[in-house]
Amino acid sequence: MSNVPIVGGISQLEGNERKEALELLDATLAQLATGNGPNYKAINVTSVTGQVVAGSLNTYEVELDNGSDRKQCTVKIWSRLWLKENGTNIKIKCSGDDGELDRTW
């Protein structure tokens, strides 16, 4: 089976793709903190998948630390780099939370 991405197909990211996805996670969480927050740091990433859509959609199963509490969360980052505005969307859903954080810039 080839490593060519299938549009719409979800694949586990490994090697350089995983490294780049983790760098994207850190950079996006840092950008989120510069706005009206919250301020999260990724502690333990257990899974990273990628999906080719209109842009790329990375999904992370991760433990996030906000300085006072740690939570198991699902983070989705949708990147559309060709857009000058609103090209990045982050959604964070943590276990035990009713709502979902949803920010675009």
Collect all residues with Cβ–Cβ distance below 8 Å to 2 and sequence separation of at least 6: none
- Position 6 scores a pLDDT of 60
Cα 45 to Cα 28: distance, rounded to the nearest angstrom: 15
- Position 1 scores a pLDDT of 41
**Is the pLDDT at 5 greater than 90, yes or no?**
no
Over residues 31-75, the pLDDT tens digits come to: 999 988 899 999 999 999 999 888 999 999 999 999 999 999 999
In a domain, 1, yes or no: no
Range of the domain at 44: 10-104
In a domain, 3, yes or no: no
Domain of residue 86, CATH code: 3.10.450.10
In a domain, 91, yes or no: yes
Number of domains in the chain: 1
Over residues 7-22, the pLDDT tens digits come to: 668 999 999 999 999 9
